A and B are shown apart, each in its own frame.
Chain A
């Protein structure tokens, strides 16, 4: 195959996929299985073609998008998340009369996200960012007859809309100040002085902070995660959040140093403060949660805090580790949500006390969930441990006050083990005064088991053999070129 065609294929596959899924509805009635298989195949093809793309690729589209190793790295993360979410959705959409849109929305969001990672112009970035976000609003409201789903979507939408406004406001201030919308180093201030530029960047941080759930822009997240259908939650916690990081890293990689030079704004301190707040508050709130889905939501906030350390450090090495962190985090997180979905649909388990003795009834899912939680807590040799290790190591190497970031990170990890371990304890040792049930082992459904096992394999594999992904992350950051 012509290498040029292959390079376009990840995006083409997704775009064609959206159309294909919609038209399938017209052509054939009641083919939910085919639909799921089509979507899974599409995301899989997208993932594989992304992995096959050469590292030197540099495709410019319309002058505002450049597809290179950086964007393909994220396309791989997005399509892998979409792949797992699609398999998971096949259980969810079984009872739905209109499953077509759900898959189409996942594919559309994934395509838009891939463009976010490729954007080189703030306005273009905003448009595709919104396209992805709007798809996720609809996905959140998908169980529209359920009050919780609708409520989650409304909250998500209102806060999201305000955040979009904030981003747009930031972009316009930036344009007033510099006369440019390109994501490239700022050379001059033509209007409004350095303070305007500072405010513009603070607004951008706040707006994208909504997407990555940085405290204090995180408030929507627990409600939305809890109310949304499980496949949506999986997707939101993985691809959608990583998209926020993809945008932030790109903007600050190019524009950060010049903002500091011209406006005197040390944005790294802002990120450091956000990281500190996010990991600590996320963990503290998770300590007292009784609903497992909500616990995972807060744990997802605290993980954002660790990832934000990468932006606070602001070095090429730290960015590469950030990229690795998103990969490591995504699989443990999606895996946990799918396991939670499995337990809720099979046993009606919602609160963490409902998880008592599940280890005896669903050994595979329970074991996998335990591994995911241990990974999130940062226990070696699992994926997130390696990510945290590198991240904290990078902070220690940066020296000075940055060391305190890693101290805070380590303390927070220790704290987080408490609530993760409590769930594992319930799974295997039950809760007080409740004897083990005399239950048989339940037959797991493949729509849950398959993605759980994929995530499990990757969580362990990334932990013991992280080299290739770290290497890819370095290549991705290097492809951004000198700032």
Chain B
């Protein structure tokens, strides 16, 4: 029997270690080496499952001294196993496995498939490494690997200008957040003299003594999470990232990239609890993101973009939950969201695979021909809207209840109101997508017949549908299997519970949202298009559909700042730096040529130089 201390190393490192196979030998393997990717992630997933079953009741740190051994600054790295990391690594591994199986068919006919598998393996491995890392430094290393892989994967079709631009945008925008995380952990090292997770989790107040500093660090780290989890104001990369393959979007939006931000806050939760006001910031950013993203989802016509805004909105819910002290609810929603969001994306991917379009207005009439795909989307949509007995209902209900309780104790009901109103929008936008994209008959006749996707794509969807129905019951009003994952650390407060009446309220809101979409698009009781007419409607529509002008504002600021600065820098760079670099390079090459000419090929010259060398050394030593 292999011990946990070995397994924990294999889980993240196996896919990374084997990642060279598809890119180097993909050309000679069936499906470009996809089976290697699936097998390695599969092993990781099974091992994660074993870890979950054999989970020790107290956190364990499996680390080794790495680099700088024998010197004054030893660095210990390793993996940290507790309920949180075990949960996260399972979510990542299993969801990634399903998505990879789906990719076998979905991506099967692409050029450069080996590259795809390699990047997916490193991406998933890095996320698992990030989840298990036992020091902030190691977390940061994997964090950057996640960022780099997302860049490569979003830009998988790098010959398309939109994909290349989207990849660049994702990288640059997330990088702004990364700087926050980086400065945060450098401050921890400078003032706390440690990077070990254990120290931060068990003694946050003795590691960093000053409360102001704790808040500063927590907020800086949260800025990193904002970038990765696409929260306000660093969300602009997320909709554009839809240019990547749908399987990549599915993975980014469910179990890897965006989950990393939420996980970062959850991982350092005891530290955030010890930082005054930090969680309030988290709650506000989360609630505002949840609300604004839901409104943006209402006006988009691109199915994948609707799902992207929904991701941002749902991550806003998780952040809100963390902010209001409902750590368990946030992690529960992370689990449930990963499942139903992967499901929604896989369904959207199946439609895109068959129809070749992402515009919901050009879809439609799919219920009959694509039964599994349509059912998958319906199940995902019901779960996202928060309709029982789908898993989204249970976790969202917990979050709303906690937000209400937060209002009751702090007097700040804004958070609750924002998240509650978002429920209507959420249900409305996702059912708008369902009715227009799947149910209503197509506006134009199709030139080729529509058919259901093959089993290798539909089976992952079926499994996810089943999970959507199951996982909610891990923590329902009558069952609580999830409890150990919440109550494993004494520093984590119990999740606040709200009166049952609130559940009824949020349920009514969700049904109202669905009803609005139904009456507007299916029954034509009112014309949704009229909403964007009139002076107010027009302006509102423009405001929302332009993403609240965040992109435009960034562009303006960037342009204003950079035009002046870049002119100066351009001069500096071209004339001074390049001049110096070229000069040095030219000089060195010249010098190199001179050195080379000494090498005459004549042995007597060699000997002469040797002897001169010795004589010179003797003279220098004896005379000077």
**Chain A residues in the interface with B (C-beta under 8 A):** 154-155, 158-159, 162-163, 166, 195, 198-199, 202-203, 205-206, 210, 216-217, 219-220, 222-223, 265, 270, 281, 284-289, 317, 320, 363-364, 367, 386, 389-390, 393, 397, 415, 418, 441, 464-467, 470-471, 474
Contact = CB atoms under 8 A, between A and B. Distances in A.
Contacts of B27: 441
B603 A154 contact: yes
Contact of A320 (B25, B70, B596): B70
A265 B621 contact: yes
B599 A219 contact: yes
7 contacts: A210-B610, A265-B621, A363-B24, A386-B67, A397-B72, A441-B28, A466-B67
Interface string B36-76: 00000000000000000000000000001111111110000
A188 B382 CA distance: 93
A280 to B, nearest CB: 9
Of B67, B593, B605, B607, the most chain A CB neighbours within 10 A belong to B67
B620 to A, nearest CB: 8
B593 A288 contact: yes
A415 B584 CA distance: 10
Contact of A198 (B68, B599, B613, B622): B622
The 10 closest A-B pairs by CB, nearest first: A219-B606, A216-B613, A288-B592, A287-B592, A284-B592, A285-B595, A467-B69, A206-B614, A158-B603, A284-B595
A220 B598 CA distance: 12
Nearest to A281: B595
Contacts of A363: 24-25
Given A159-B606, A203-B614, A219-B606, A287 B622 contact: no
Contacts, number: 101
B589 A287 contact: yes
A286 B70 CA distance: 33
Contact of A216 (B69, B588, B610): B610
A281 B591 CA distance: 9
Contacts of A219: 598-599, 605-606, 609-610
A210 to B, nearest CB: 7
A284 B588 CA distance: 7
Main DSSP-derived SS at the B contact region:
helix
B504 interface: no
Contact of B588 (A158, A202, A415, A466): A415
Nearest to B616: A216
Contact of A285 (B585, B592, B606, B612): B592
Given A206-B610, A287-B588, A288-B589, 4 more contacts: A155-B606, A166-B614, A219-B609, A284-B595
A466 B66 CA distance: 8
A281 to B, nearest CB: 6
Contacts of A464: 66
A46 B451 CA distance: 66
B122 to A, nearest CB: 15
A276 to B, nearest CB: 13
A159 B610 contact: yes
A194 to B, nearest CB: 10
A115 to B, nearest CB: 26
A289 B596 CA distance: 9
Contacts of B609: 216, 219
Nearest to A385: B67
A467 B67 CA distance: 7
Contact of B70 (A199, A222, A288, A470): A470
A467 B609 CA distance: 41
Contacts of A286: 592
Interface string B434-470: 0000000000000000000000000000000000000
B618 interface: yes
Given A155-B606, A287-B592, A216 B612 contact: yes
Of B20, B596, B598, the most chain A CB neighbours within 10 A belong to B596
B617 interface: yes
